[in-house]
Structure 1
Amino acid sequence: MKKITILFILISVTYFSQCPNPTITSWAMTGTTADFGGTNDPSIISYEIQYNEGSTFTPGTPAPAGVQTFTFTSFPSSITGLSVATDYYFTIRSICASDTGSWYDSGNNGPDLWTTTADCPDAIPYFNDFETISCWPFGPPWHTNNGNPGNYWYYTADNTGNTFAGSDSWTQNQGALSPDCWVVFGPIDMTGITDANLAWEVRGVDPAWCQENYTIYFGNDYNISSLENSTYFFNETIASGGDACGSNWAERSFAISGYSHNEGYIALRHHGVSDMFQIHFDNLEMTSTVSTSEIESIDMDIYPNPTNNVLNIKSDSKYIGNNYYVFDNSGKIVLTGLITSNLTILNTENLSEGIYLLSSEDNIKRKFIILR
């Protein structure tokens, strides 16, 4: 009887996905979005992005704890709801009918790092609450000092976490100072706007030494020599015992009329004072204004204002069929639609708290505020 030897050969097979990698042609970050473009491939039925805030990760199925997943079917597309001035890590893969592609990133060495921009105000309505440090201007000519060496406007916060701009006329280490400190914000898009109102909050912190002197300028150039000669300015020496003397904030404003430039700049100047303590500024706000006669002829109103989730547009019949647009504080269109009746209802529940501008095709503008 013959002995038969049967040899079993184990063959190792490595599987390679046939689903092609996505072809990405552009990737850009704004203050709250990641916007990406690419070449659509008919063999790919969808794309999956995994992303994480603040730290890298190893992608997987399912996504690791805390990692977000975004799926879309074609380019271009956007991820919304991101935080301003924040690091995010992204990786992407293709999904085909028969299989799923490998995770794809630049260099294939792990998720790519992208950072959202600072969503700094640059249009009317303008609002600066000093909450975003990356929007604070550093270095001349935006941030200068013509007084004591080393004495500048600064970006700071109180014990509640509220941030604001401050400047000193006395410190424990240096004693009495004679400040001439400037900080300039802008440019602000003023296209089509001739009349506006500039408002802010101010305080001289120490009630016993609150008589700080300051000037706010508005002009069409960021250079302080030009701003100092602007016809649009407001000057005040805080009165002892007045509403701006001490820890409470006081509101101030002045009107700008007949402005004829497409850009504008706001400058804060702390000067003409010595041996007091500190001056603080917060909530710089600039809005366009309309005369009473113009308002009466517009026949359009919005309410409630401030609002939370719903805004009503009450308008004359002649505006039915016009488009409306809602702009955020950076000038970006965040909502649009059609005025369909004398009462049009806008759903604002997906908009963040802040100041917005409603504009119609007829260039009618209404500011409103969302508070929750």
Structure 2
Amino acid sequence: MNKKITVGFFCLMTASLFCKINAQTYQTLNVTSGYNADLVANGSGTASSSTTQSVDSPTNGYVFMSTDFMNGAGAMPTSGLPSSGLINSANTTGLSFQMAPYTSNNSLRLVNANDSGALNFGSTPKASKLFMLATTGSGSSIASIVVNFTDGSNQTFTNQSVKDWYGGTGFAIKGIGRASRVTDAIENNANDPRLYEIALSISSANQLKSISGVSVTKTSSTASFLCVFGFSYQVANTCIAPDSITVTNLTPNSATVSWTAVSGVSSYELYRSTSTVAPVSSTTPTDTGITTASKNITGLSPATSYNVWVRSNCGGGSVSDWSLVKASFTTPCTSVNAPYTENFNSTTSGTLPMCTSQQVINPGGNWSVDDATGLAGFSSNVVYVATTNANDANTWFYTNGVNLQAGTSYTFTFDYANYASPQSFKVAYGMSPINTSMTNVINDYANVNVTNYATGSFTITPSATGVYYLGFNVYTTAAMSGGFGIMMFDNISLTTSTLSTSENLLSENLQVYPNPTSDYLNIKGTKKVSGIKVLDVSGRVVLSSNKAEQKIDVSQLVKGAYILTVKNTDGTSSTHKFIKK
């Protein structure tokens, strides 16, 4: 097992308890106890003679190997772990790991669910971030890592994924080959196996504390082998960066950003961007002189994604690093006024227009925009959804929110067509883009089967002022779809309905009251009435009479907005909106 001690380990045996990698930023940590397995073949002799366990299943028996390894047959690897044990991470510039000597236990190997081990360090540093060097044999693993501090407190990191030693991303080193403890064969590979870098961000409060060690527990029950090979850290700045950044009070043009206050800080600085690229020390903040642990940001654009970082200003020119974790948010869309139109021609194929949305209730019903030229008479982009015989469709497409006024009538039009098989859909509106809010059904098309697109046209009159969304619900059954079908929509329009000049004059000469009403409507005017009709918001006649009535009983109508059409004996007519409460 103990074949030879390489010169590269001299730094571990000096009076210094750790080797500096980057005095300004990163340092390695010396694990003084806790390793339970030697997983690196080194020196001359068989792989099994210089190791105690395998990285993967003992049946396979593979281990890492040092570049100075020579097996029993005299063969040496073309690549391997550096004989010095010093690994410069390929994932983070300036970060290095110092592995323990290959001549003794150099890894914490955890096999079963809830297996754990404690690693103690030879120094007690203050860190803003801890980095673990680890890998997993025979599949990936999930770990829980507890960072212990000298004051007895700790910080726990759960659900930390450690990838299989072949093919994963975020590696510190790769292409180091392996040797078999079973056959003593050497496998040279330019890409695998791999050791990974797992970053653990220390909270701002804990950056003031000294780290004494860590405990690692394998929490996954898979038949994999979690192997930990070392730790390094980022030195904590004397001016501590904030953390726990949250975003609240989102509006189309503003947001409130909050964070955990840091003791001793005179003010904070904030950087916001639509880019995900993190700021560096020389980046100019977008907001400075913030004296509380929150900031209401204004002047934002609707429907835009932002990222925010915060740093502390400790005075005297001393500032912290930017927060390790950013806050990300997207401002909501702003509602629009009528007229509202959407013809989908400015929308990229495969997407949906900005500020529209979809709700897929049954699997498979995803909406998208594409060019439908040549289908059902369309000559440009449409929004569509495909249906199949795999399951009944139940999927919604919602427009942007539109500001509507109570008692005002609006004309709602759209083009529609099916393709390949008959389809079923309904249109409705409500105050949220979700199916449970679509309580105002405008029309239900139970069996659509057209050669060329048709146009739907309806009058809607909301009973309350607010922001409304128009919803299109395709609910074609699996049997009806016949294996495959498409439902298409185009030229969605919502405009304010207006009366003609003559109708306005007639309306002015006729009084309809009370409005709103719970039981009766009274009609008073200069002309003799010959009949009335009451229509709901979908245009359906719900009450009619050919009698000369001056008082109309509407008590049986459900609450909502209605249109009253009054016909006079001279052939003229007028239209009036009213609310049944």
| TM-score computed with the length of structure 2 as normaliser | 0.30
Task: Identify the structure with bigger relative contact order (alpha carbons < 8 Å, sequence gap 6+).
Answer: 1
| TM-score computed with the length of structure 1 as normaliser | 0.44
Choose 1 or 2 for highest CA Rg: 2
